[in-house]
Amino acid sequence: MQRILSTQLPAHVGQPVRIAGWVHRRRLLKSVAFLIVRDAGGFTQVVVTAPEARALVEKLTEETAIEVTGEVVANSAAPAGVEVVEPRVRALGPPAEALPFDLFRPDLAATLPTQLDHAPLSLRHRSRATALRVAAAATAGFRSTLDASGFVEVHTPKIVASSTESGANVFALDYFGRPAYLAQSPQFYKQLMVGVFERVYEVGPVFRAEPHDTGRHLAQYTSLDVELGFIDDHRDVMAVVRSVLAGMASAGSHLAPIEVPASIPSVHFTEALVIAGAPADEPDLAPAHERAVGEWARREHGSDFVFVTGYPMAKRPFYTHPDPARPGYSNGFDLLFRGVELITGGQRLHQYDDYVAALAARGEPIEPYASYLDAFRYGMPPHGGFAIGLERWVSRLLGVANVREVTAFPRDRHRLTP
């Protein structure tokens, strides 16, 4: 008999079935025992009356993997309107050992460190599993939006000869006896691939040796990277951000609904300072300023999202393209989501001489970037892009304070297992 999922039971009323899953919970009453079986689809209530089956169920502790054959009957009092009766229960292994925390309660009672120490177990809890499903749906929406717009998926090196962003916070590696580093972003690689496909994206791990213990930073996270060529300026990139966010929101809407407006409001950095009541010579937005701009967007435009454009060049990476009309300001933008920075992007430099000048202006040598910059000698169009931190998106969408709660196996300064 083919195994079916709990969600398929209503179509099998009156029939024998085989289900399988985990012992989610047992309710051992005097004359009857209820066995709640959890599978990939949901839950099945199994009604146990026969003494032999009862004796077995009493031994099968929570989280034991089991298989149940029985008959499906309608019962409007059962969780999904159906239950399985006259079961034959078979353990697929020995009974699970005593759990460090209960999984059947609505909330995980264990502390976050305990949850993370036992990640294979805590991830089975609905709250944790749902966050990972939201991440999977968001990633699928990201890709399907871009696939439909002529973007090509690429895979780029995670081991590099020199740091791609500024030199700090980089993991060093022994690469066949010589030094190498873990890539902090696919920044230059995705730019180079614009020369090949015009429009590219990558979903992959990036690595930051973050020395800080915060709820926002991880040593490894999943970066959703996009880059496109033949743009007029950063506004073409922002249009892609909007459609990608809509695709991500749409794909996960059954799990975590969010509305992405047809047009995301946008303010220039100088206006953002005014909205936030900050001095006009502030070089960047502080968290309080971002919150103020987020509240403004909510109040004036009914939007959870707002672009801030034209950040001062001094605060953006050297590959950022300046605003031709206001050279101290950039064609770089941030997208704030509910008052916190979610996405950074912008137009990049695309001419070799401009890179040489930008590095010289910052007193940085060309040599570490030489193998990337070479490509800009051979015809690169105006281009730009952006990156979304997947775990950060999910945590903010679900209103979770610590990004570790939405990461399967987080890595930080103190955590390297499991």
Applying CB under 8 A, what is the total number of residues that bind a copy of itself? Answer: 93
**For a copy of itself, which residue of 193, 248, 313, 358 counts as binding (CB under 8 A)?**
193
Q: Is 202 among the annotated ligand-binding positions?
A: no
Q: Of 13 and 255, which CB lies nearer to a copy of itself in the complex structure?
A: 255
392 is annotated as contributing to ligand binding: yes
CA 35, CA 17: separation in Å to the nearest integer?
16
Gap between the Cα atoms of 60 and 66, Å rounded: 9
Question: Has 300 been labeled as part of a binding site?
Answer: no
Closer residue to a copy of itself in complex, CB, 176/277: 176
Task: Specify the residue, 135 or 240, whose C-beta has the smaller distance to a copy of itself.
Answer: 135
Tell me if 51 contacts a copy of itself by CB under 8 A.
no
**Interface positions, 301-320, toward a copy of itself (CB under 8 A):** none
Q: Name the β-bridge partners of 206.
A: 221
H/E stretch holding 142: helix 126-147
Q: How many CB atoms lie within 10 A of CB 384?
A: 29
| Per-residue H/E/C for 151-218 | CEECCCCCEECCCCCCCCCCCEEEECCEEEEECCCCHHHHHHHHHHHCEEEEEEEEECCCCCCCCCCC
Secondary structure element (H or E) that encloses residue 23, with its range: strand 16-28
Residue 367 marked as a ligand binder: no
Q: Which residues within the stretch 239-268 sit at the binding site for a copy of itself (CB under 8 A)?
A: none
The smaller minimum CB distance to a copy of itself, of residues 52 and 353, is found at 353
Residue ranges of E strands in 193-337 = 199-207, 220-229, 266-268, 305-309, 322-323, 326-330, 332-337
Q: Is 22 in the site for a copy of itself (CB under 8 A)?
A: yes
Region near a copy of itself per CB under 8 A, out of 106-114, 196-204, 242-250, 289-297: 196-204
Cα angle, residue 397 at apex, residues 396 and 403 outer, rounded to 5°: 40
- Contact of 57 with 37, CB cutoff 8 Å: no
| Residue closest to 318 by CA, chosen among 280, 383, 259, 363 | 363
User: Binding a copy of itself by CB under 8 A: which of 6, 44, 156, 185?
Assistant: 156
Which of 348, 342, 314, 340 has the alpha carbon at shortest distance from 328? Answer: 314
In this complex, which beta carbon is closest to a copy of itself, that of residue 93 or of residue 277? 93
For a copy of itself, the binding residue among 6, 44, 115, 139 (CB under 8 A) is: 139
Name residue 179's beta-bridge partners. 174
Annotated ligand binding at 153? The verdict is no
CB of 282 to a copy of itself, least distance (A): 33
Report 347-386 residues binding a copy of itself (CB under 8 A): 350-351, 353, 371-372, 374-375, 377-382
Choice from 17, 78, 89, 135 touching a copy of itself (CB under 8 A): 135
Q: For residue 149, state whether it binds a copy of itself (rule: CB under 8 A).
A: no
Stretch that binds a copy of itself, among 185-193, 303-311, 314-322, 327-335 (CB under 8 A): 185-193
Terminal alpha carbon distance of the chain: 37
Binding-site positions for ATP read 208-210, 216-218, 341, 389-392
